[in-house]
Structure 1
Amino acid sequence: MKNAVNPEQADLFQSSLVSQRLEHAKKTKNVSWLESARLHCVNDEATLRQFVERALASPNPKAADTETTGLRPREDKLVGISVAWVEDDGHPVSFYVPLLSDVDTVKIDPLVTLSILKPLLETKLIWYNFKFDYKFLKAVGIEAGLLADVSLMKLLPKAGLDHGHFEAAGDTSLKELYKKHFGLDMLNLEDALGKGVYNFALASLELGKMYAATDAYATVLLYHKLLDLTDMGFIYSLETQLLPIVANMEYRGIKIDDDSLRKATETFTKENRELAEEIFAMAGRKFNIGSPQQLSELLYGELKLPVSSYTSEDSKTPSTDKAALKKLDHPIVKPILTYKANDKLLTTFLKKLPRALDPEHHLHSNLNSYGAVSGRFTSTSPNIQQIPKAKDDTSNSAVLRKAFVADEGYYLLDVDYGQIEYRIFASLCGDPNLKSAFLNGVDFHLQTASTMFGVPLDKVSDADRQKGKTINFGLLFGMQAYGLSQQLRCSEEEAQKLLDTYFRMMPTVQPWISNEKDRARTCGYAETIYGRKRMLPDALLPYTEDTKSRISKALREAVNHRVQGTAADILKMSMIRLDMAIKKRNWDMHMLMQVHDELVFLVHESIPVSESVALVKKCMELRTPTACVEPRLQDFVPIVADASVGYSWGNSVDYVDGLELEDIPYHNKLIVIGDPKDLVGRGPELKEIFKKYPGKSEVLLNVGGNFVEPSNTDKETGEVTELRILGSKRQIKEIESLGLTVQI
């Protein structure tokens, strides 16, 4: 967050006090080496030009770093920039150039400084957390070049090396990594500015030299150190190419409709008050509904409901999670589930999102493309990966998604890989029964149940399909009979029989799972078909009573990584292809978000819907072996993507051939049709407008709020007297052709 500068703070951070703090740091840390390091503060134009020319003339890799007044690139400012490289004599040199200071005098005009540095900063450089620096430099018109990101290098160790793999070092800072490899301390910002202060403008230029220049200095040394330790193969190249794409996604952000957020907050807050009263009445007392302990005491202690599952296999604590509650047969359960779902939406998103927006009402979530051990994206501030897919237009997720809207003059294109992990699982196993569902366009879980129970597809019951679905999903995460019995609410013996039947009817599945586990036991890691490794040291442990649970967990993770990690790799390759294709066409089209297996794009209205969808599907889909971009996918079943288009993320239309921009419903715009007397007897005609477009009626009618719903009707005749709907441009034209007036 940006820290406001007031007179008291300015006095507090005068150079004398900064010097005292630096001296204190020397007493507690091994930072004396900084005094002899080749660190420079450049505060005159002639010297700056000399350093830039010297850097550009050097063929050696160079690192750069930025200092800022805060953490928000569109609101905070650049304070200074550092550049470092190793000279021919083997010694590194680093210089810091101030742009802004509230303590000392900056002698070069910031615009002049940036113009001099621009040619250097746009060459291929080494960074630590490239995205942060990229966004701040983009805000001042500089497109930072990327040679390497040390924060990525540390995460991709060569096989057999212990350092820096995801589990051990995912959150290691630059300072911690430098000390790990060189045994020397670096200054923390807190040493001089105090805890929780991020405004580097409050630092003296001397601190700029000793802190900021050291960051670039350490980054270039770590790059050289990690070159011999990092697996610089395909995955490193993939992640490096992705970094500027993700940085641009973060920088642009997605627009949030404040009114939708406010209305949703009011609605769910009111509903939860009413639900709480209903729950307390049934319980006979008040309690904290959000407390697992208090909820457990009520359900299993006072109400004597049967315990269906525990918080873990080794725990004796009854579970109160969603899956456990759904198994309970009591009227209090349904309102509790609804309350908890509403509360999660309120506390995780609705109450936090307004504070996270920039002045233009855009949300800039931090997207970490290599945040999960599988290679899948993670996100923070807020965690948009927690937004589930919308099951229907009234679900909590759909309500939240409706607040994510297109900028004026643009529409949103949402493209979702359809069952990609199941498709990869079927392809890797090579089982003909599993593959046939995708090859023939049959429901995968239906096909599984049909094969398991030996019944025709049209005779499979909903209960049997659910069993097939549960097993399919569970196998991706290494689920055993115990876990399956908890999911299906059956005995462990019955669950084991179902698994035995599954493996008997799909004979290649179990050998494939066993093979993946054997490989992990031998190598100590799992990897995707593209070579993304997940270190699993527990897989190498000798098997004993004390280690068996750890080994079992590692082997389950090995199976999951092969599937889930491969899906992550395929999605990332698609993102790179899409970025290149969009730039080649010079389209006003931008990737905004990656959530689950979805990509969300902002597309200018000048680009026809059919063309934007065709481009995205071409880059993402792998429908036939001959169309595969990667030889490793030659034997895969089709990997397909489903597209939807709308002016909001939660109010979109599934794409079908022929769908045009005029068919997309407006977002959150009230349409009042006609004078009450003009609407008498027109209800049937109006409804036909929403049905008459061939191939589109089902799509349009499935959009929430889009179907004709009168807000007022005549009590005696039932005729529409006023109509308020969300509608598309085409529908408005048709309504106007009836002689009715449409106001937006």
Structure 2
Amino acid sequence: MSDKNSRKPLVLVDGSSYLFRAFFGLPNTLTSPDGRQTNAIHGVLNMLDSLRKTYDPEHMAVVFDAKGKTFRNDLYPDYKATRPPMPEELRYQIEPLHEIILAQGYPMLVIPDVEADDVIGTLSVGYDGDVIISTGDKDMAQLVNERVSLINTMSNSFHDVQGVIDKYGVRPDQIKDYLTLMGDKVDNIPGVDKVGPKTAVKWLNEYGSLDNIIANADKFKGKVGEYLREAVPRLPLSYELVTIKCDLDLNCSGESLSFSKENTERLAELYTELGLRTRLARLQEGNPDIITTLDEPAPSEGGVPVVEEIDEVDYQCILTEEQLDEWIEKISTAKLVSFDSETTSLNYMDARVVGLCFSVKPGEAAYLPLGHDYIDVPQQLDFDATLARLKPLLEDPTVLKVGQNLKYDRSVLLNHDIELKGIIHDTMLESYVLDSVANRHDMDTLCSKHLNHQTIKFEDIAGKGKKQLTFNQITIEEATPYAAEDADVTLRLHRFFAPQIKALKNNDAPNQEKLYREIEMPLLKVLSDIERTGVMIDAEMLAEQSKEITARMAELENEIYTQAGEEFNLGSPKQIQAIFFDEEKLGLPVIRKTPKGQPSTAEDVLQELAEEHEVPRLLLEHRGLSKLKSTYTDKLPLMINDTTGRVHTSYQQAVAATGRLSSTDPNLQNIPVRSGEGRRIRQAFVAPKGRSILAADYSQIELRIMAHLSGDEGLLSAFSAGKDIHKATAAEIFGVPLEDVVTDQRRAAKAVNFGLIYGMSAFGLAKQLNVARGEAQEYVNLYFARYPGVKAYMEDTREKAKEIGYVETLFGRRLYLPNINAKNAMLRNYAERTAINAPMQGTAADIIKLAMISVADWLREGTTSTKMIMQVHDELVFEVADDELDMVREIITDRMTQAAKLDVPLVVDTGVGINWDEAH
């Protein structure tokens, strides 16, 4: 940056760039009270807040593209011709966003016939001082010089002249040449075919400029040389299209772009209309006379959850006994303590404590380093003695604690013989209960989204890739603000979420506060115990299976090569295309094409081809075996913990929108149960001598929930009488006595039963049953005629979801449906299918969670040595002493069937065996 004067830099914002990036980068669950999407509005406004806070500029402008064509379309009619139309969900956000920006007092420019880039370029050239351009557009790099720099607030990257060279490999003055050579598919600007960033950089580093490259085009060898020579006639036009105009005749200058007074009344109206609660709260804080009709969730003190500015903070490092005494006193007397741990590993079974973090009020936090071991590390308090002093506080259930993903911290402390108690809140789970549809619930995302604060990232202090440091290697000076910030922002997030969860309470009706308090929070400890117990694996059995799979894969390869008439790479879609679809080879029919126009070799395509052709069938079998080998038979033995001799998965509690749990590292919920090879892998899940595996599985739970929710008399009657529901449905559909139902009729009825609750169309049902579409539609019609309550429930659910924007499980878990009223038919239809299925799948998830909590309560009584070792969808798996089997089976069955009260009985199927497969 230039230092020729001390004036503040001119800040120019590429509003159009951020508009699109925010729309596609932020969750579409951010909506207004009337259901309109607001994610682009949120993203752009947060970016503007960040820029204004960082640079405090006197002169600033937000620049947007104007509607309609520009001079570039006159030069080249196909300019941007391949761009898809702007999504309607983005289009209607533009006008209110513009209104807010103007009402906030920002200078805003929308100039016809040119693009925002050209306006920004002209203003940057004409300003006598430093310029900061905020953009995510690489084209802007051509404007960088000693005065002009780029910042991308969405990626937190800054580029001056050297930054451009480091990022792109060329100087700013070479960017136009660089862009010309590559062309731009998004803007439909032609370049040199097959020339990407690496080739463009190589050529420019060798020849210096596009002119020199063109002058020496004859010297370029090979195919790429032919492409270059073919492109030479069009390169001048491409160069002109990528060049940002810096000589527009504007009726303003950088010096004239000053802020105007904020229009608080208009902002209050806009924030209310769009449901921008945090912004409205801030506005009301500074302008108490503003009155709005927005129904804000009230915290315990009344009012709305206000986001405190994270400006001045007091982050302390505890290195002396006196400091430790002071913080022990604070923790002991605090109403709520925010707690976090810093560790040596993300693997909870191997991780050791490096330091502990505490906060008892926003803005004040402390980091207690205990295990940093780099050269010349400052003196830390004694590890064992300090943990011994803290153990009573950490294990005191009356010292209430909040954290972010405390399941992990609890497990790590157990490695040091400390059981974390008093866990009353978890911000990850608070966020998840409030909006399970949101993609991420990690601390960095939550802080950015809700607190308008960018946290210090682990990579910022530890580096990336192979050279990344573990926390014990990071200097205490760098670790302190990072670690203390974690505790501070966690407390702030809780203060933001808690009032909203309480506001959703509705007397004794199902509500999210009860869901959070009685299901999600108690489940945290249950899952932690299951994870730490782990499951025994027979490594030798898996090794033998790997050998057999390898041999079978080799046989399949030979069969495929023989039938194909040549060898080819089974993992290469391009080579598979050549073999499968070439008329002179296998000549298989093209089912579907890729976006690039090539025949698709996707899984579902191969499955369809496999119905009539042998090679695709063999290839699918080969792929399936390869996946089983790499994911399970080879990998599981490597994951056996050296200390426990068991495999320990991680259950993800805040991922699936419906409330279902997922399993990672390893994924124990995705082992195939229908294939012989999958069942053999389950045979390697074993129990120690004198113990057995007990599997307890809810029978047809989602169909039972459908019967309860719909109240359909036919379904209720069938389940209450204990009938085989699929035979009963077949008898109704086909009009035959129950005892006369044949296998094919039951199979068809089963497909209808499950297909309808998952939103399957008659077309999908026809494909599954291999019948004509008309016949499948007749099955559907007959089903709804026999079970009219189901049809009524589906129609009512769809209509209610369109009205309020969400559906709920029986226990109050909300599943928001931002696309339920979308104009795009595909998005809307998917949301409608989700509206029908989600309450059933979500209620099933809630029920098994309640069952896990109930069973865990019994296990903690200590009357049995039984261990709960896995949860897989609707199934719980236990390790039971052989002499306790009958008693344990009876109690677990009872607790699972009593987990919820439905209008039909919950039924649990149990099985016992020496391994998991045998228990089914």
Bucket of the pairwise TM-score, normalised by the shorter protein:
0.7 to 0.9
What is the deviation of 1:338?
2.8
Does the 8 Å CA contact 2:606/2:616 hold for their aligned counterparts? no
What is the deviation of 1:390?
5.0
Q: Does 1:551 align with 2:828?
A: yes
Secondary structure at 1:537 match in 2: coil
Q: How does 1:158-177 map to 2 (within 5 A)?
A: 165-168=435-438, 170-177=439-446
CA distance in 1, matches of 2:591, 2:727: 27
2:712 to 431, 437, 445: 431
The letter of the residue matching 1:285 is E
Q: How does 1:448-463 map to 2 (within 5 A)?
A: 448-463=729-744
Q: Does 1:373 align with 2:657?
A: yes
Q: How many residues are matched? A: 595
Query: What residue in structure 2 maps to residue 200 of structure 1?
Result: 471
CA distance in 1, matches of 2:382, 2:565: 71
The letter of the residue matching 1:387 is I
The letter of the residue matching 2:632 is F
Q: Does 1:124 align with 2:395?
A: no
The letter of the residue matching 1:489 is N
Does the 8 Å CA contact 2:809/2:839 hold for their aligned counterparts? yes
CA distance in 2, matches of 1:278, 1:27: 53
Secondary structure at 1:435 match in 2: helix
Query: What residue in structure 2 maps to residue 709 of structure 1?
Result: none
CA distance in 1, matches of 2:572, 2:894: 48
CA distance in 1, matches of 2:562, 2:721: 53
What is the deviation of 1:261?
1.3
Cα offsets for 1:287-325 (capped at 9, x unmatched): 34455665566556554556778999x999576438934
Q: Classify 1:335/1:571 alpha carbon distance in 2 versus 1 (closer, same or farther; 3 Å).
A: same
Does the 8 Å CA contact 2:310/2:363 hold for their aligned counterparts? no
1:58 to 314, 318, 334: 334
1:347 to 630, 642, 652: 630
Does the 8 Å CA contact 1:474/1:484 hold for their aligned counterparts? yes
Cα offsets for 1:561-612 (capped at 9, x unmatched): 011111111111111111111112443222111112111112345x510011
Query: What residue in structure 2 maps to residue 566 of structure 1?
Result: 843
CA distance in 2, matches of 1:433, 1:287: 56
Query: What residue in structure 2 maps to residue 575 of structure 1?
Result: 852
Cα offsets for 1:352-398 (capped at 9, x unmatched): 2233221143211110133211111111112222113356xxx1121
Cα offsets for 1:696-733 (capped at 9, x unmatched): xxxxxxxxxxxxxxxxxxxxxxxxxxxxxxxxxxxxxx
Cα offsets for 1:240-263 (capped at 9, x unmatched): 110111011112211221101101
Q: Classify 1:419/1:295 alpha carbon distance in 2 versus 1 (closer, same or farther; 3 Å).
A: farther
Query: What residue in structure 1 maps to residue 144 of structure 2?
Result: none
Q: Classify 1:258/1:494 alpha carbon distance in 2 versus 1 (closer, same or farther; 3 Å).
A: same
Does the 8 Å CA contact 1:308/1:486 hold for their aligned counterparts? no
Does the 8 Å CA contact 1:433/1:451 hold for their aligned counterparts? no
Does the 8 Å CA contact 1:322/1:337 hold for their aligned counterparts? no
Q: Classify 1:35/1:306 alpha carbon distance in 2 versus 1 (closer, same or farther; 3 Å).
A: closer
CA distance in 1, matches of 2:794, 2:325: 61
Q: Classify 1:440/1:307 alpha carbon distance in 2 versus 1 (closer, same or farther; 3 Å).
A: farther
CA distance in 2, matches of 1:571, 1:26: 42
CA distance in 1, matches of 2:645, 2:605: 33
Q: Does 1:644 align with 2:914?
A: no
Q: Classify 1:349/1:634 alpha carbon distance in 2 versus 1 (closer, same or farther; 3 Å).
A: closer
Query: What residue in structure 1 maps to residue 516 of structure 2?
Result: 236
What is the deviation of 1:229?
2.9
Q: How does 1:297-696 map to 2 (within 5 A)?
A: 298-299=579-580, 302=583, 303-304=586-587, 320-321=603-604, 324-325=607-608, 328-359=611-642, 360-390=644-674, 395-541=676-822, 544=823, 547-605=824-882, 608-622=884-898, 630=900, 633-635=901-903, 637-652=904-919
In the superposition, the TM-score normalised over structure 2's length comes to 0.61
Does the 8 Å CA contact 1:375/1:565 hold for their aligned counterparts? yes
Q: Classify 1:610/1:489 alpha carbon distance in 2 versus 1 (closer, same or farther; 3 Å).
A: same
Query: What residue in structure 2 maps to residue 266 of structure 1?
Result: 547
Q: How does 1:74-223 map to 2 (within 5 A)?
A: 74-86=349-361, 91-103=362-374, 104-122=377-395, 123-145=399-421, 146-157=423-434, 165-168=435-438, 170-196=439-465, 197=468, 199-223=470-494
The letter of the residue matching 1:582 is L
CA distance in 1, matches of 2:497, 2:817: 21
Does the 8 Å CA contact 2:344/2:471 hold for their aligned counterparts? yes
Q: Classify 1:475/1:318 alpha carbon distance in 2 versus 1 (closer, same or farther; 3 Å).
A: farther
CA distance in 2, matches of 1:469, 1:45: 68
What is the deviation of 1:634?
4.2
Secondary structure at 1:101 match in 2: coil
The letter of the residue matching 1:101 is H
The letter of the residue matching 2:906 is I
Does the 8 Å CA contact 1:129/1:151 hold for their aligned counterparts? yes
Query: What residue in structure 1 maps to residue 24 of structure 2?
Result: none
Does the 8 Å CA contact 1:292/1:320 hold for their aligned counterparts? no
Does the 8 Å CA contact 1:80/1:100 hold for their aligned counterparts? yes
Query: What residue in structure 1 maps to residue 120 of structure 2?
Result: none
What is the deviation of 1:408?
4.7
Query: What residue in structure 1 maps to residue 151 of structure 2?
Result: none
What is the deviation of 1:40?
1.3
Q: Classify 1:567/1:45 alpha carbon distance in 2 versus 1 (closer, same or farther; 3 Å).
A: same
Query: What residue in structure 2 maps to residue 711 of structure 1?
Result: none
The letter of the residue matching 1:533 is R
Does the 8 Å CA contact 2:432/2:441 hold for their aligned counterparts? no
Does the 8 Å CA contact 2:591/2:605 hold for their aligned counterparts? no
Does the 8 Å CA contact 1:295/1:320 hold for their aligned counterparts? no
Query: What residue in structure 2 maps to residue 669 of structure 1?
Result: none
Range with greater deviation from structure 2 (191-200 or 146-155) = 191-200
CA distance in 2, matches of 1:525, 1:320: 32
Q: Classify 1:278/1:509 alpha carbon distance in 2 versus 1 (closer, same or farther; 3 Å).
A: same
CA distance in 2, matches of 1:585, 1:323: 52
Q: Classify 1:580/1:320 alpha carbon distance in 2 versus 1 (closer, same or farther; 3 Å).
A: closer
CA distance in 2, matches of 1:516, 1:309: 34
CA distance in 2, matches of 1:138, 1:566: 32
What is the deviation of 1:26?
11
Cα offsets for 1:79-113 (capped at 9, x unmatched): 01111111xxxx54211112211121443221111
Secondary structure at 1:594 match in 2: strand
CA distance in 1, matches of 2:848, 2:912: 20
CA distance in 2, matches of 1:596, 1:326: 31
Unaligned ranges ≥5, structure 1: 1-24, 158-164, 623-628, 655-744
CA distance in 1, matches of 2:574, 2:716: 45
CA distance in 1, matches of 2:690, 2:471: 38
Does the 8 Å CA contact 2:765/2:776 hold for their aligned counterparts? yes
What is the deviation of 1:35?
9.4
Range with greater deviation from structure 2 (238-247 or 329-338) = 329-338
The letter of the residue matching 2:859 is I
Range with greater deviation from structure 2 (529-538 or 423-432) = 423-432
Cα RMSD (Å): 2.8
What is the deviation of 1:279?
1.8
Q: Does 1:69 align with 2:326?
A: no
In the superposition, the TM-score normalised over structure 1's length comes to 0.75
Range with greater deviation from structure 2 (216-225 or 404-413) = 404-413
The letter of the residue matching 2:389 is I
